Amino acid sequence: MKEKLVDLFEYTYHFNKEMIKIISENLEKVDEKTMSLINHTLNAQQIWNARILGEKTFEVWQINPFESLEGINDQNFKTSVQIVGNSDLDQRINYQNSRGTKFENSIFEMLFHAVNHSTYHRGQINSLLKQNGIEPILTDYIFYKR
């Protein structure tokens, strides 16, 4: 199970990196919503990692300097893989969402959500890229595995 979860984080890391690259190559065409979504995608993974580790989280919709996005993606990947390797994935974690509501989920559920959440938002980003005349990139998992 841990091996498969690491594979999903490798997939997430790869296509987050590709999204950052295509955005950087087309900054003059990229709209504010696209920038907001790429930041949110990276912020969310940091937030889930930090909740598991009991650390300080980013703000859900904070806008980071564009030049820091690759570093955030790198750190997110390293931290997620470290959590997978060092944790009992069935362990349940108590946390609060951004509105202060308390929840409890397993580490596996939280990490899987982070992967799924990233996939969802990369699809939204691709739609926005296409609307702005930028060729979207194929980010489906199967394309990654081919």
Domains of the chain (ranges; CATH) run 2-145 (1.20.120.450)
Instruction: Convert the pLDDT of each residue in 68-82 to its tens digit.
Output: 999 999 999 999 999
7-23 pLDDT, tens digit per residue, is: 999 999 999 999 999 99
Cβ-Cβ contacts under 8 Å for 96 (sequence gap 6 or more) = 102, 103
Question: H helices of 26-106, where?
Answer: 32-53, 69-86
- Does the pTM of the predicted model rise above 0.85? yes
Q: Which residues are annotated as a binding site?
A: 40, 117, 121
The whole-angstrom distance between residue 101's C-alpha and the CA centroid of its chain comes to: 22
Bind-site residues for a divalent metal cation: 40, 117, 121
Element (H, E) at 93: strand 92-96
From first to last of its 146 residues, what are the pLDDT tens digits of the chain? 999 999 999 999 999 999 999 999 999 999 999 999 999 999 999 999 999 999 999 999 999 999 999 999 999 999 999 999 999 999 999 999 999 999 999 999 999 999 999 999 999 999 999 999 999 999 999 999 99
Which residues, other chains included, contact 95 with Cβ-Cβ below 8 Å and sequence gap of 6+? 51, 102, 103, 104, 105
